[in-house]
Amino acid sequence: MFGFNSKNKKNVIDEKLKQIQIEVNNDLLSSSIEKNLSTLKEIFVDNDVLVTRPIESDNKGKLNYLIAYMDGLVNSVIINDSIIKPLMLIDLEKQKKISMDTLINSVVMINEVKKTQNWAEIIESINYGDSILFMDGEAEALILNSKGLQTRAISEPESERNLKGPREGFSEAIITNLSLVRRKIRTNELKMKFYTFGERTKTKACVCYMDSLVNKNILKDLYKRLDKIDIDGVLGSQYLSELITDCRWSPFESIGNTERPDVVVGKLLEGRIAIFVDGTPVVITAPYLFVENFQSSEDYYLNFYYASFSRLLRMLALIITLIVPAFYIAIVAFHHEILPTPLLVSITMDSSSVPFPTGIEAFVMLIIFDVLKETGIRMSSNVGQALSIVGALVIGQSAVTAKFVSAPMIIVVAITGITSLLVPKMNSANIVCRYFLLFCASFLGLEGLACGLLLILIHVLNLKSFGVSQFVPMRSIKYQEIKDIVIRAPWWQMITRPSVISTDKVRLKSSGENTDD
């Protein structure tokens, strides 16, 4: 009985909501303030944040206005000084007829004003921090820009620190973020096109590119994919990233992301496209080449020898973090011959009293390491200290003394863990591939490892980002193609842009030597 009732009730509410929706969509504004107010109240029923403020301008004549806005989203100073004050002080005798246009042209002191007759538009802007001004006798309303969002200050992004480069990072407000980019590229070639995603969140996003550098086919492809998106909400750029990516199931990234304006500008200047999403400091860029996993913004600010070295280190770290646990298992369980005798004896001594097979041991230890790492990231920093003690002592020292795990295994896990931190952009790929290789190696030894690596290699070579093969530049051995891949060439050699991405090839027009002849 009860169930039937509640279901019935729910249906009724649903229908009512639907009705309002239809009205909102079809109905235009009325010329009576009272009616508009009641419609507004009806739309925002049970929504006490909405502030409606009637104003009577009594200065030699009488006119009624109504201001509506969302509390907290607006800047009160603007509303007080630039909207309410001029409206109250308006000299009605001087004006023959007060129309909406007169208000726009000579009364309200607001930079961005828009006329509308549509309720849907009103709802969207009122939710974005604009104020709505209704006037008696007009079937129109003004959307006045009075946004006063509280935003975070510009600070250095935690995830991408650097020593010598700029320290600014994106924040959550899209306009601020765009301004950070615009500040670095002062040309009309920089295009910024707004999009709105999310049926309910109505999140603003901005597609940003350099008109003369971008590959138009890639841009067209991107628009096509963006147009297809129909989702109820977008809270972060990863939402879009996963919706428009080429290889949906791949653990490897095919769309880049960054929190740094300088990185975005660097990518724009190579002909890539950036997508800003409101409410997140993370900006995504496309197309994405495999080598971008190893690039860091710091590379371009430091001496090229050092930068090249650290880039090579990152590549080495990737190989180590993927292979080391699997290689260890393969050797210890299958190919003892590889080990030099003293090492063989020492490993045998260590693992002779360990209860579990090496494969399971490695698996468990790697999981424990990942647990520690995850807690380290999510915990507040106060707990961090306790965590490191637990990690170092319990997992390391005590586990070995208690003969749960062998000491070489701890070393292997530690090496794997440390090196994985060097390529943070490949976290998901790291985890998937590492456990996959571990699985292969513990069944088939080095043969399994080789097969597993082959599979990964085949997959990686097939990766695409907006139709561009992620490995394309590495197939060529021309110096200009690989100058920014394995090494970071000095800037005077960075003559061309990545050929697959940009249409305009030459980046550096003066590459001659600096000699005084």
- Interface residues with other proteins (CB under 8 A) are 332-337, 341, 344-345, 347-349, 351-354, 357-358, 444-445, 447, 450-451, 454-455, 458
Least separation in angstroms between residue 331's CB and other proteins is 8
SS3 (DSSP) at 253? coil
| CA distance linking residue 241 with residue 113, whole number of Å | 34
Residue 172 CA to chain centroid, in angstroms? 10
Residue 287, preceding bond cis, omega within 30 degrees? yes
Determine the Cα–Cα distance for residues 251 and 56; give it in Å rounded to an integer: 62
Residue 231 token pair: 């989702």
Residue 464 φ/ψ, nearest 5 degrees = -130, 150
Backbone angles phi, psi at 141, to 5 degrees: -135, 160
Q: Is 350:406 a contact under the CB 8 Å cutoff?
A: yes
User: Which amino acid is present at 265?
Assistant: V
Closer to other proteins by CB, 340 or 512: give it.
340
Question: Based on CB atoms, which residue is closest to other proteins, 268 or 456?
Answer: 456
Which tokens in the block code for residue 438? 């571990």
Closest CB to other proteins among 4 and 249? Answer: 249
Asked if 136 contacts 65 with a C-beta cutoff of 8 angstroms, the reply is yes
Cβ distance to other proteins smaller for residue 364 or 451 = 451
Burial 292-318 (b: 16+ CB within 10 A, else e): bbbbbbbbbebebeebbebbeebbebb
Task: Identify the three-state secondary structure at position 477.
Answer: coil
- Residues facing 276 on adjacent strands: 206
Please report how close the Cβ of residue 383 comes to other proteins at its closest, in angstroms.
Answer: 35
| Cβ atoms within 10 Å, residue 70 | 18
CB of 304 to other proteins, least distance (A): 40
H-helix or E-strand spanning residue 484: none
Query: In the complex, what is the shortest distance from the CB of residue 468 to other proteins, in angstroms, rounded to a whole number?
Result: 21
Q: Which is nearer to other proteins, 324 or 332 (CB)?
A: 332
Cβ distance to other proteins smaller for residue 44 or 356: 356
CB of 464 to other proteins, least distance (A): 15
As measured in angstroms, the least distance from the Cβ of 447 to other proteins is 5
CB of 124 to other proteins, least distance (A): 42
For other proteins, give the closer residue by CB, 356 or 471.
356
Q: Which of 71, 81, 69 is nearest to 107 (CA)?
A: 81
Q: Which is nearer to other proteins, 158 or 337 (CB)?
A: 337
Cβ at position 442, least distance to other proteins in Å: 8
